[in-house]
Structure 1
């Protein structure tokens, strides 16, 4: 059953993306709201400051000098301006030289530090009947025959209208922004829903697959980001398919190849048991021993091939010096143990390596198994002397084994590398698996197997790409 997309599921990709979009919108909304509040506050201050200044100027223009003293006939226009904020309390006062009150609503003058003064006036804030208020102080100077000196006009009002205007400006700006945010969230949900459709298709494809179906998933119609993910999944499935195939081959090969040797050992054992003591029983025991050795070699080769296939796919590629691979075989392996049926002895076996490293990126164990199988093939089927060598040049690294024999027949050489490829003359000496291990290793590390037949003998070469060592890898 296909699992449906639910954007509200905790931990789901859709919920995370929508949560991130919502967080960005909320953060942007907070920043924009702060900017709107600040700008609205400045706009309200400028608007009502102009009203205060206009009223103060109207009052200052109405000041007259009569009988040597200033006199004010309060103009109606000043109160009309102040009436534009009907909810606010107002204050006005006119003072003559020395602070003498000429007229005003309250003889007590608000005291506060003025802001930066403009020519002839300044604004300041103080309390008016217990409320914060904004004031303007305007000075008009008289120089007449019967009166000379400054006359100061102070006009103020509380801040209710300013706050109401700031709130109104914020609401007028935030409401469309909130609607636009909701619309953006809806659009983001739709876009995300459409973007996740390929994931739903992939999920449906995987859910409907047979458990043994490890074929690659199609990537041509996928977006670039999903193509990377599905490509990695396909590579993983390819490695898994290789492991499963190797396991199936091991099981099939074991079932097929072991049946005949085991049956033959049983027959040889029964023959030896039934044979009369003497030469006949000895011959039966010799045949039983040969069959047992052959079965042991077959088991070793089957397990070795399965292990090599597994390691070449799962082990990390590291710098390996092919000279060390060859040296390890010569130092730790006895030719008689490697190939018991061989006529070649240690005196006829040589090693040719140079002074310079021959580096490849591979798995040392797998290279050792491949080299050992090439050597065993030469010891078993070739002629002395047998030479193992390592050489490099022109971006290639080569590990080779040569013997003085003519090599296999052309029809046999053409099939070398296939599992259980044996010639009619090999008999019990060969399992037909050794060269398949060499071929697997060469292909796994980007190389190839070369065979050369010439007057001097037969030569098998494991040819691999040479590698350079990074400075940190030499530490």
Structure 2
């Protein structure tokens, strides 16, 4: 069964699909809003157009009203009904009332308008209709007052015209929306093309190629490219640590392992008990030396790994110095050797990994105990804007030639000397450089000083 962790992540919608869905949703919402606006406009336009027909018909009827022999008479003009007949499917309603309110002609049961209204909506024989109320004033000896003309029309033609206007507007919106969506998809694909190039470049790379991407991405993609380059740089650094560990292991263990094998062969073939005991003793020493070599190689790999992967914390170098003194269990600490502490009242903060700093300081102390002269002093100070954790012994220190090589890896061979793997100071140097500092060896009045020199907390990088 394949490992679940090796399976690719579940596929999700692509950026193009998400943008297409978003644009489509935006166009749909906008289209609905425009459709409602188009329908409202269509209704208004249809109403205004057919209201003008009502006005024309009512004016024609009103102009045909006259007074004869003291009576109001109406000769309905054909032109009024010709105007209203432009809406062929609609039913027509009309009514003329004299100054006394009597119906002179037309439908007697037409609904009355609201007070002061000119246009109004009301049913006509069970069907929605639109009415116009118009008055004509007479001021004669026999007739004085207002004659009221009411003209109505059902709403079929108005509704058809409103729907026709809306339908044509929606056709235009649909064509425009499809064109906008197609153009938007082309623009999106063009905008996302740099991502395709980056993906293609990464997929075609050799697995061992961790060099930074040299593409010139758009401003929005540049942070992602920077993050990928940073990740590959960290990964390359970790792979360098692994390669160095493998190389060092193959190079440094070959000689001591061969020596152990030779000593073991001699011990097996030796008949003399005394010589056999000496061979076993040499095997034991070689084993201890090999164990120290392995410990320091693993410590070096661990410390270098932590400096590149563990999040940095605020560490007071005085606490590191105090831990070294209070521990009192250093392997090289001989009986009667006294450690003194020289720290001030002011904090000496740096940004680093506490465990890596303690390992680096412990190696400096081990070097002073093994090669220096008591008394040994552990202290902290601030010099030239840098924060120092130093180990001072009373010895003269090594020569200039040896001092120039201090901190380099495998300066002493565990296979030849049996005393040191030569990695202690290399660990200290790696830690100092990882946090933007250095390892400094100085002859000072009263002895020789080895110091971790690190930037202050605000200047650490």
**TM-score for both structures, normalised by structure 2:** 0.88
Q: Tell whether 2:85 aligns with 1:83.
A: yes
Residue 4 of structure 1 aligns with which residue? none
Describe the SS at the equivalent of 2:179. helix
1:73 is matched with 75
1:162 to 158, 171, 176: 158
| Cα drift, residue 298 of structure 1 | 1.0
Asked if the contact 1:380/1:429 (under 8 Å) is kept, the reply is: no
Deviations 1:307-351 (A, max 9, x none): 11222222112222222222222222423x1x2xx7x65643212
Deviation (angstroms), 1:146? 0.5
Match of 2:248 among 241, 245, 253: 253
Give the structure 2 partner of residue 432 of structure 1. Answer: 422
TM-score by length of 1: 0.86
Counterpart-to-counterpart distance in 2, 1:156 and 1:181: 41
Q: Report if the CA contact (8 A) 2:386-2:453 is conserved.
A: yes
State whether structure 2 residue 317 is matched by structure 1 residue 322.
yes
Q: Distance in 1 between matches of 2:387 and 2:352?
A: 12
Match of 2:149 in 1: 153
Residues 84, 417 of structure 1: alpha-carbon distance in 2 compared, 3 angstrom cutoff: farther
Q: Distance in 2 between matches of 1:53 and 1:464?
A: 95
Whether the aligned pair in 2 keeps the contact of 1:412 and 1:423 (CA below 8 Å) is: no
Cα deviation, 1:163-201, whole Å, max 9, x if unaligned, reads 222222223322222222211221122222222322222
Q: 1:107 to 1:393 in 2, by over 3 A?
A: farther
The 3-state SS of whatever aligns with 1:265 is: helix
Task: Name the residue aligned to 1:5.
Answer: none
Identify which of 55, 58, 68 aligns with 1:56: 58
In 1, the alpha carbon distance for the partners of 2:384 and 2:112 equals 95
1:398 aligned partner: 388
User: 2:299 is matched with which residue?
Assistant: 304
Range that drifts further, 402-411 or 16-25: 402-411
1:205 to 197, 201, 207: 201
Summarize the Cα distance change of 1:395–1:147 in structure 2 as closer, same or farther, 3 Å threshold.
Answer: farther
Note closer, same or farther for the CA distance 1:146–1:200 as it changes in structure 2 (3 Å cut). same
Give the equivalent residue in structure 1 for 2:111.
Answer: 110
Write the distance in 1 (CA, Å) between the matches of 2:79 and 2:335. Answer: 127
Matched length: 447
More deviation, 193-202/143-152: 193-202
Query: Which piece of structure 1 moves more, 122-131 or 347-356?
Result: 347-356
What CA distance in whole angstroms lies between the structure 2 residues aligned with 1:222 and 1:462? 41
Structure 2 counterparts to residues 55-454 of structure 1, below 5 A: 55-104=57-106, 106-111=107-112, 113=114, 117=116, 122-219=118-215, 221-270=216-265, 274=270, 276-277=272-273, 284=279, 286-335=281-330, 337=331, 339=332, 347-392=337-382, 396-422=386-412, 427-454=417-444
Provide the rounded CA distance (Å) in 2 between the counterparts of 1:84 and 1:416.
Answer: 109
What is the rounded CA distance, in whole Å, between the counterparts of 2:307 and 2:313 in structure 1? Answer: 12
Separation in 1, partners of 2:102, 2:384: 108
Q: CA deviation at 1:102?
A: 0.9
Q: Which ranges in structure 1 are unaligned for 5 or more consecutive residues?
A: 1-8, 469-475
Deviation, 1:25, is: 1.3
Equivalent in the alignment of 1:461: 451
Q: Please say which of residues 370-379 and 167-176 is displaced more in the overlay.
A: 167-176
In 2, Cα distance between equivalents of 1:48 and 1:396: 91
Change beyond 3 A, Cα 1:144–1:329: same
